[in-house]
Structure 1
Amino acid sequence: MKNAIWALVAFVPFAACKKGSTPPTQSETITVSNVLKSQPLVESGTFQGTGSPALIMPGQSVTIKFSAAKGEAISFATMYGWSNDLFFAPANPGIAVYDSLGNPIQGDVSSQIKLWDNGTRLEQAPGPNVQHPGVAESKTISEVSGTDAQGNSYIPASQLVKATLTYNGNSYFTLTLENISGGTANETPLSPGVWAVSYIVGGSLLSPAPLYAAGQPTANGLTSIAEMGDNGPLSTYITGITGIFTPLSPILVVVYDGTDNPIYKTGALDPGHGLTPLAQKGNADTLAAYLKTLPGVRSVYVLPAPQTTVLLPVIGSTAGSTVSQQLNVLPGDRLAIATMYGFSNDWFFATTGNGVDATVKGDISSSIGLFDDGSAIEQFPGAGITQFNLAGTPLAESQPIAPVPNPNMFTTLPVVTDIIKVTLQ
């Protein structure tokens, strides 16, 4: 994870201090931590038919709209209704939605759908006369290819469920699932189902098997889908692991004696002094060099995390990254920071207003806001093809710097203090 998360040159802390006679300074230590309790799935949801019960009958279809970055995939699961415990799903990690060049894939992707045995019930001959729940067994999940373990025959899953991808632009896709089993030897309704998209971090998916794992026992509520067509338990599980994952770029810290925050101004266009590279790519070098030249700026630091450079969030039981820097400040000095919301197009965290009193002690996290630099077209955070830290190239726009709404058009974010913690001691 540490080698490919952030395509940046190495950062080295540096300070620019003004010369001249000054009153005695006091020592402060600023500590910044990524405290986000990250989740592995960027998006997830459910689908079902329109009737009651909400089955997807032969000839009917459902659609799933989602966003994805290069390397991410969509997985789903739905019951082969006229079976004891069979379900349809693509092979892990799911249906790829971009080719190796980053071009969106469109058209028929049915060949990626497989039929799976949940391993919890002996199979009867498939059809409307299957008796539920059937005889229990205890096996691992396995693919059904031609026949099941009891010798019942099945035509390929791609001849029972048709999957079609449509690219809607700006990293959005529509996956259409159509029940085409009517008139075949394996005619069946499809149950309500679930779907999921995993984050990709450093070239690896955080959850490469989000719904099931071949060769492993069923888990997390999948049995309810495979045996009963009930997507509730698995939906509850995946909802609980869907949310936000983002690193923070090396932290820019500035101590100044002026009356205006020198990093940014809301309501104004990015002036081109280096905030755009920070907000789009996490590179604070240009802005730090500019801040050194401003009257009233006493010191500037860029603080990378040890080993990883970026500040990683909490991942499972692994604590998030932390950086610290000793500061020498004067009475009346102000302090401000800035860091990129890594899995975005141009969002950045920064101290609001005219910074904070640099001589205060304690937790100053409540002074941090999340802002849109207005320099790049927005996409779903963590699932955008033009996001720099997901191997993309930002697409330019020109809008005033503004706070990021929450909820926003893509998702609901945790409160800022649950993502970044800043203390002065």
Structure 2
Amino acid sequence: MRTRYSIIATFLALSLGIFGVGCDSSTDNGELVASFEVETTNSTANFRDRSRYPDGEIESRTWEFGDGETANGQGVEHTYDEPGTYTVTLTVEGADGTTQSTSRDVSIGTQRFEVVVENTGPLLPLTKNGTFRQDGAFDSDIDPGEEAEFAFTVGPEELPETGTAFSFASRFDPSTDAFYAFRPEGIPLFDESGTPRGLDGPVSVTDNIRLWDAGTENAGDKIVEITDDNDDGTLEEDGTTYPAVSDVIEVTIEGQEDQSSGGYEFTVTIQNISDQTGATAENGDPIELSRGTYAAHFDRVPGGDPDDNPEDDVRYPGFITLDDSTASAGLATLAQNGNPADHDAELDAAQGISVPLSPGAFAAHSDAIQPFSLNREASEGIERIAEDGLPATLAETLGEAGAVTDGGTFGNGPLPPTPTDAENEQITFTVNASPPSKEAPGDRLSIVTMHIQSNDYFYAFKPAGLPLFDDNGDPIDGTQTAELSLYDARTEADQEPGVGINQAPRQPSSDVGPSQDGTVDRLTSNIGASPLTDVIEVTVTPVSQ
């Protein structure tokens, strides 16, 4: 929803002439067509009727100027008391009583701009990822009786209705290309109530592990599960016998609240228990578990339902589907020689913070006002948008300022990040600005929108706003992303972006989380290893009448 402000400031004498053509109200097929042209100079607009009636004669023309005034005639002049945007309507009537009307917005004493706010950030399904190896050893596999342990922090979901799952992969050594992993979709780290797995202590997830054949012996071979076909307690594939999964590997997960991140920390322990069970490879050699990869990831696409549509599952990269999947190059390398580096690089490409942008507030204003100030406490309006993505309070506050020419809110909901191969999501709005004059410089543009994966970060131009006119008095035109910065309102204690449970996608309601009595600060480092231009782009284009 968007709000328009009335202009309270005293009208400035301007010398701007704009010429435009009104839109036809119907096609030219002999019928009456209402149309007009307008030229504005300072506060005066000259309107000229350009209506057509090939099959008849136009008898009267009535003008409504949008400020309560009306006039009649083919060409009329009207002077407005205040600058602003007015909806002008022309109604023409034929001698036979036929009528047609056409309307258009006319800007008086202002320059109109079109502003496009675009979310250029990718939708990244992996929240955390990494590699693991035998504890206390560098670059070492997990020998019998040894273990690997690693930890990571996540929230119950990064985006609404995505959940959080866990996956890993480790080679069965010796083998040609067998590896241990869960099913492609991984296992959930939280139950339906949001309780983390292993909250009361380590829990075993070994029953969920499968042994897989990566299918790398012949080109085009698929990943298949190695199963107990003979019901004898061992696994068989292509004439090779493997011990039962539970005789070789034990995996436990423990989850606990993590104060430093504001989310949950999960500790995963992967043990090679073949020394306890006496399990060996078919040739009698001891079994090693290779260095491996892991990831915490969405358990479904945003808004998806895997129960109704299996394609809504988010699967471990390199291990795409169960029935018709060829291992990626990285996963194939891990399965063949136990080197996780290439697969980890594939995971890196899908890992990061998926950042929606909140509905925002905007205003064109003089240099007598600014929406926020560095090193000063944030206003209520900035606090509400920075913490909860609610722009109405800031928009209303700016609307009461006499130095604001035009403004309002943009967006009806979060502007989401972009899935692979999709066009970026964007929102477009228009704003009218006062050009430079002898009495005052031209207006500036301010926009404020929340970095939704934070507690109280927001994107904005400099506190004084973006100058909408250059040194020659000409309107600016083009991408203005370089003028944006990411700010910390410092009204709420920070948590790890994309993880904290007091952040908008995960908080139970608005205005939760411990307060922080700080002052607004500009952030100079990247958030979640993503530069600013990878999240938001703003383009400003002047619009003719």
TM-score normalised by length of structure 2? 0.66
Match of 1:96 among 167, 175, 188: 188
Contact 1:86–1:116 (8 Å) recurs in 2 = yes
Residue aligning to 1:298: 405
Residue aligning to 1:345: 455
CA displacement, residues 193-225 of structure 1 (integer Å, 9 cap, x when unaligned):
111222476345783333413222222421111
Residue aligning to 2:87: none
Give the Å deviation of 1:379.
Answer: 3.1
Tell me, yes or no, if structure 1 residue 238 matches structure 2 residue 355.
no
Residue aligning to 1:116: 211
Q: Secondary structure at the match of 1:197?
A: strand
Give the Å deviation of 1:112.
Answer: 5.0
Q: Distance in 2 between matches of 1:168 and 1:97?
A: 13
Q: Distance in 2 between matches of 1:227 and 1:72?
A: 29
Relative to structure 1, the CA distance from residue 152 to residue 280 in structure 2 (aligned partners, 3 Å threshold; closer, same or farther) is same
Aligned length: 393
Equivalent position amino acid for 2:513 in 1:
L
Relative to structure 1, the CA distance from residue 66 to residue 152 in structure 2 (aligned partners, 3 Å threshold; closer, same or farther) is same
Residue aligning to 1:226: 335
Q: Distance in 2 between matches of 1:17 and 1:63?
A: 63
Q: Give unpaired runs (5+ residues) of structure 1.
A: 1-11, 122-134
| Cα RMSD for the two superposed structures | 2.6
CA displacement, residues 76-98 of structure 1 (integer Å, 9 cap, x when unaligned):
11111233322112234323222
Residue aligning to 1:61: 147
Q: Distance in 1 between matches of 2:355 and 2:335?
A: 34
Residue aligning to 1:361: 476
Match of 2:523 among 391, 401, 404: 404
Contact 2:180–2:212 (8 Å) recurs in 1 = no
Q: Give unpaired runs (5+ residues) of structure 2.
A: 13-108, 157-162, 229-234, 281-286, 305-311, 437-441, 470-474
Higher relative contact order (CA 8 A, sep 6+): 1
CA displacement, residues 293-317 of structure 1 (integer Å, 9 cap, x when unaligned):
2342232221116xxx322333212
Relative to structure 1, the CA distance from residue 94 to residue 345 in structure 2 (aligned partners, 3 Å threshold; closer, same or farther) is farther
Match of 1:320 among 424, 441, 459: 424
Q: Distance in 1 between matches of 2:139 and 2:396?
A: 64
Alignment of 1:5-404 (within 5 A): 12-19=1-8, 21-23=10-12, 24-49=109-134, 50-51=136-137, 54-70=140-156, 71-106=163-198, 107-120=202-215, 139-146=221-228, 147-149=235-237, 150=239, 152-157=241-246, 160-169=249-258, 170-171=262-263, 172-187=265-280, 188-199=287-298, 202-204=302-304, 207-212=314-319, 213-215=321-323, 216-262=325-371, 264-271=372-379, 273-304=380-411, 309-330=413-434, 331=436, 332-359=442-469, 360-362=475-477, 363-390=479-506, 392=508, 394-398=512-516, 399-404=518-523
Give the Å deviation of 1:185.
Answer: 4.1
Bigger CA radius of gyration: 2
Q: Distance in 1 between matches of 2:357 and 2:382?
A: 15
Greater share of residues in strand: 2
Q: Distance in 2 between matches of 1:20 and 1:239?
A: 53
TM-score normalised by length of structure 1? 0.83
Q: Distance in 2 between matches of 1:301 and 1:158?
A: 65
Contact 2:355–2:451 (8 Å) recurs in 1 = yes
Contact 1:119–1:137 (8 Å) recurs in 2 = no
Relative to structure 1, the CA distance from residue 391 to residue 201 in structure 2 (aligned partners, 3 Å threshold; closer, same or farther) is farther
Relative to structure 1, the CA distance from residue 175 to residue 266 in structure 2 (aligned partners, 3 Å threshold; closer, same or farther) is farther
- 55-64 vs 20-29, which deviates more? 20-29
Q: Secondary structure at the match of 2:495?
A: coil
Q: Distance in 2 between matches of 1:91 and 1:422?
A: 42
Give the Å deviation of 1:115.
Answer: 2.4
